[in-house]
Amino acid sequence: MSKIIAVSNQKGGVGKTTTTINLAASLAMADQRVLVVDMDPQGNLTSGLGQKSGAEHTVYEALLGDEDLPVLQTAVDKLHLVPAGRHLAAAEVELVSIEERERRLARLLEAVRQRYDFILIDTPPSLGLLTLNALVAADTVLIPLHCEYFALEGLADLMATLSRIRNGLNPALDVEGVVLTMFGDRTNLGAQVAREIREFFESKVYDTVIPRNVRLAEAPSHGLPVLLYDPRSRGAEAYVALAHELLTRNGAAPRRTAAAKA
Ligand code: ADP
Ligand code: MG
């Protein structure tokens, strides 16, 4: 089994990058072979995994040129990274004139796909060509929703984009799941928004909820997934639980517990 999952929501600050890093690390600690791809010009996934921006070989050169995807090892054994660099913002414009511009990433991932159990793609907070490339390459979309603040606002745009892509470029595109992030259980608003989201997406919403946890916000400045930065934090436990739930829903039992490894 090999699955490509785009982590997407056109709103910024909802936990896309945090989820990509920590879900991917948790899957890798559960003995899955995992690749993460940074498609956001901000490069937060790249820096959050300890890579300096300014690398010569990034996803940009592969998207625009003839190069293969550059794949880097991270601090987690089975977790590899395709980094972004500062040029990636230009790709949004430069891709426009390129043949099969929406399928560039899909083509590049075909070459590496069989080496991985999961490929997670982090996307920018927009529905431009970089996000489109991710959604065309993906089997499914994982949607992080921030529970406390107008979570459902703008979702109509994302759902419309998904159905447009299903009607054309990627008919098999499915929703992998919806994950509630930055949940603060002391506020009624969070609980109320969570209920609304569950009504809207029903069983697509994971039982696992990611709490607001400062360790999750601190870990990227150390260039580490939270599982290496503070494995006993609530944030780490939540992403391990999310990984196990995702594996179970995909009919794959975790091969080894993250706790045993960490
Ligand atoms: P996006 O990629 O959707 O823009 P991020 O993952 O970068 O969102 O998260 C936005 C900010 O919130 C970042 O500073 C991140 O460290 C922080 N953050 C994300 N998830 C949590 C969480 N569960 N608890 C605390 N801070 C979080
Ligand atoms: Mg991000």
Ligand nearest to the CA of 221: 1
pLDDT of residue 255: 64
Burial degree of 140 (CB within 10 A; 0-12, 13-18, 19+)? middle
Whether the per-residue pLDDT at 250 is higher than 70: the answer is yes
Which is nearest to 183 in space by CA: 211, 207, 205?
Answer: 211
Dihedral sign (CA 125, 111, 58, 22) = positive
pLDDT of residue 260: 44
| Selection from 84-98, 146-160, 184-198 with the highest mean pLDDT | 84-98
Ligand 1 environment, Cβ below 6 A = 12-18, 44, 125, 181-182, 210, 212-213, 216-217, 235
Report the residue among 11, 17, 18 best suited for mutation to probe ligand 1: largest number of ligand atoms under 8 A from its CB.
Answer: 18
- In angstroms, what is the span from residue 137 Cα to ligand 1's centroid? 25
Question: Ligand 1 atom 27: the closest Cα is on which residue?
Answer: 217
Assign 175 a pLDDT band (cuts: 50, 70, 90).
Answer: very high
Question: Ligand 1 atom 5: the closest Cα is on which residue?
Answer: 15
Assign 8 a pLDDT band (cuts: 50, 70, 90).
Answer: very high
Residue range 44-68, pLDDT digits in tens: 999 999 998 667 789 999 999 888 9
pLDDT of residue 262: 39
pLDDT of residue 261: 43
Assign 195 a pLDDT band (cuts: 50, 70, 90).
Answer: confident
Percent of the chain with pLDDT over 70: 93
The residue among 262 and 158 whose pLDDT is bigger is: 158
Question: Ligand 1 atom 24: the closest Cα is on which residue?
Answer: 212
Assign 74 a pLDDT band (cuts: 50, 70, 90).
Answer: very high
- In angstroms, what is the span from residue 176 Cα to ligand 2's centroid? 19
Mean pLDDT of 76-81: 97
pLDDT of residue 172: 96
Atom of ligand 1 nearest to the CA of 219: 16
- In angstroms, what is the span from residue 13 Cα to ligand 1's centroid? 6
Mean pLDDT of 75-86: 95
Please write down the long-range contacts of 155-158, taking CB distance under 8 Å and 24 or more positions apart: 155/9, 155/200, 157/10, 157/127, 158/8, 158/9, 158/10, 158/127
Query: E strand or H helix at 226, and its extent?
Result: helix 226-229
Mean pLDDT of 220-238: 97
What radius of gyration, in Å, describes the C-alpha atoms of the chain? Answer: 17
pLDDT of residue 144: 96
Whether the per-residue pLDDT at 256 is higher than 60: the answer is no
- For the chain, give the mean pLDDT: 91
Overall pTM > 0.75 = yes
Atom of ligand 1 nearest to the CA of 235: 23
Mean pLDDT of 164-179: 96
**Residue 219, φ and ψ in degrees, nearest 5:** -55, -40
- In angstroms, what is the span from residue 117 Cα to ligand 1's centroid? 25
d(CA 172, CA 124): 22
